Amino acid sequence: MMTDEQKLFPDFSPATAAAWEQKARKDLRDIPLESLTWHTYEGIDVKPYYSREDIQNLPLAQQQPGRFPFLRGHKTNSNNWLNIQQLKAENDGHTAIDKAADALARGADGILFVVLQPDLFDVAYLTEKINLSQCSVGYTLAQQPEAFLTKLYAEPEAKQLSPYSLHGFVNFDPMTGKGQLTDEENNSLIRVLELTKDSPDFYGVTVCGTSFSSIGASITQEIAYTLNAAVAYVHRLTDARAAPGHVLRNMQFYMASGTNYFFEIAKLRALRLLWAAITEAYQAGPGTAANLRIHSITSSWYQTTLDPYVNMLRVTTEAMAAIIAGCDSLTVVPFDNTFKQPDEFSERIARNVSVILKEEAYLDKAIDPAAGSYYLESLTNKLAQKAWALFKEVEAKGGFEAAYKSGFILGSITEISRRKFRDIATGREVLVGTNKYPNPHEKIDFEPEELIQSAGFDTTRAAYPTEVMRMATELHLRKRKRRPKAVVATVGDTEERRLKTSFALEFFRCSGFEIELQEYASTAEAADILLHAAAEVVVVSSSEAAFVRAFGPKLRHHHNKPIVILADDPQHMKAEMVEHGYDEFIFEGCDMSAILKAVQQRLKQEDINGNT
């Protein structure tokens, strides 16, 4: 920590917050400084700048790494993390095990098997191909983890290997997945704790914050509900006579890392801080909090099917955030994961993200590089405060299981996810290549209808509503041998008209439509030409009320019967405008789901008519 006598630039006097504010207001001129404040889904107002004054009352900002309450993590020598590759293991798992052995020879530090048929998985073959005492191996299981672990522990014992040498974890988490534990699941976890008691580096209880982030939760909700679920596990397992310290030591958090870079860094710091408070409440020693293991995985919420190579950039940002925050291990999901089984190329790219960040960016050399940042220290504190308040609110409702059963947890997440979907639909939140800056030359090399109807297609992702619209236009192209067309017409030469039509243009361009912008000086000219437009959608933007009222009814007699959309907010006149022939209304902040549904039905009907 640098003292006042060790200032890098002693010739410069320190700038106060008031001085920064005065300078900012001067540079902004007519723009209020307050307008630059960012209001987040977490209920945190992020200021346009931060100064020393923002952290002067935060004593933990001066804390050293490896010290309780471990805001800066438990690492003291380096910021090393394990590069864990995720592989799906079907049937006996031989194909996945062979692939895992290859991955371990090419940069992976460990493997996470998603075991689909645990009773068929060949543990003997696993121990033959992979030295379980030298690398971390995790297992995602949907049921009966104790049966799988019994088989796993029996194999090393037969080969005279100590269970003490096993590394990895079991990812079995019914609590966050469905909000409760059955008696059978509770007994399974008790048995898992018993099996893993002599394996200090093998974690038997995993709490998945991904269950919340994958459906659009805010970061505050993700932290709080993960901690609530962890406490629920402790209560359930200790009620079954497991020692609290044993449960706490055996617990790992499995967290997604999203694209909100600085918030994701602050998230893991706040999570460790609050976990220390919880372990302290259970009268566990500081070492219990220090033993908290955090496995990070790149977020499924932000993955896209369209322009999928952009996912490479997303996961790199997400991986950096998790690493800088001090995760213990990291899984980078392949960029094509949303629409097909990853191949050797996409798996190699995903694996190499960690390798490059370690070997070329040297992110393993600095422990908690976020330390001392006015913004990040302040943000960590605010996230911790917000999450702790929500955590206590859930506990006051009877704990995680009671709050989940009452609908509070999923209801509060749904409220946030709806806001996120709305912001994505209106372009306030950008998914590059999906709802903004689409690739006009993109070739979709999969069957859209088959993908949408497949059980594995993730419908909870942020991009899903926009993707469904694009899939509908792609199906139309394949069946009708042409793209659906949207005519966007402005009547009158005003800047307001152009702004309103630009939103419609971007929306239909991202939806895969052929776009034609038509500009008219007079209402007569517009009415004459638009009544003969060969298009599935006609969007009209006009400041002349007479034209708006008269145009809709005329289009009802159009032989193509297009969807007629007014590029404006009808406000209290919506019923009147619908009566005048307008099907929908498009403007910034509108309900895009209604437009998506109307256009999809129009395309589907045309496809049916065209095939009869």
The pLDDT value recorded for residue 330 is: 98
- Given a cut of 50, whether residue 531 has pLDDT beyond it is yes
Residues 455 and 352 in one domain: no
The pLDDT value recorded for residue 224 is: 98
Residues 381 and 463 in one domain: no
CB 237, CB 187: distance < 8 Å? no
Greater pLDDT, 263 or 533: 263
For residues 112 and 118, give the distance between their C-alpha atoms in angstroms, rounded to a whole number. 14
Considering the domain boundaries, does residue 429 fall inside one? no
Residues 82 and 230 in one domain: yes
Give the domain CATH number at 311. Answer: 3.20.20.240
- Given a cut of 50, whether residue 1 has pLDDT beyond it is no
Q: Comparing C-alpha atoms, which of 612, 584, 611, 579 is closest to residue 597? A: 584
Residues 357 and 477 in one domain: no
Residues 381 and 484 in one domain: no
Residue-wise pLDDT tens digits, 468-495 = 888 888 888 888 888 889 999 888 766 6
Domain boundary among 355, 372, 390: 390
The pLDDT value recorded for residue 595 is: 83
The pLDDT value recorded for residue 461 is: 95
Residues 326 and 214 in one domain: yes
Residue-wise pLDDT tens digits, 319-372 = 999 999 999 999 999 999 999 999 999 999 999 999 999 999 999 999 999 998
Considering the domain boundaries, does residue 27 fall inside one? no
Q: How many domains does the chain have?
A: 2
Considering the domain boundaries, does residue 198 fall inside one? yes
Residues 475 and 351 in one domain: no
Considering the domain boundaries, does residue 249 fall inside one? yes
The pLDDT value recorded for residue 344 is: 95
Residue-wise pLDDT tens digits, 565-589 = 888 888 888 888 888 888 888 887 7
Residues 357 and 459 in one domain: no
Considering the domain boundaries, does residue 442 fall inside one? no
Residues 465 and 598 in one domain: yes
Residue range(s) defining the domain that contains residue 216: 78-390
The pLDDT value recorded for residue 77 is: 93
Q: Reduced to 3 states, what is the DSSP secondary structure of residue 44?
A: coil
Domain boundary among 390, 405, 432: 390
Residues 328 and 189 in one domain: yes
Q: Is the pTM of this model over 0.85?
A: yes
Other beta carbons within 10 angstroms of residue 220's beta carbon come to: 28
Residue-wise pLDDT tens digits, 140-186 = 999 999 999 999 998 866 666 677 889 999 999 999 999 999 999 99
- Given a cut of 80, whether residue 396 has pLDDT beyond it is yes
Residues 514 and 375 in one domain: no
Considering the domain boundaries, does residue 420 fall inside one? no
Considering the domain boundaries, does residue 460 fall inside one? yes
Band (390; pLDDT cuts 50, 70, 90) = very high
Lowest-pLDDT range, 122-136, 167-181, 225-239, 496-510?
Answer: 496-510
Domain boundary among 350, 373, 390: 390
Residue in the block written with tokens 């008269």: 550
Considering the domain boundaries, does residue 3 fall inside one? no
Other beta carbons within 10 angstroms of residue 321's beta carbon come to: 25
Which tokens belong to 501? 């039509």
The pLDDT value recorded for residue 612 is: 44
Other beta carbons within 10 angstroms of residue 389's beta carbon come to: 12
Residues of the chain with pLDDT > 90: what percent? 58
- Spatial neighbors of 20 by CB under 8 A, at least 6 apart, are 49, 51
Residue-wise pLDDT tens digits, 34-62 = 889 999 999 999 999 898 889 988 877 77
The rounded mean pLDDT for the chain is 90
Greater pLDDT, 23 or 115: 115
Residues 386 and 468 in one domain: no
Give the domain CATH number at 600. Answer: 3.40.50.280
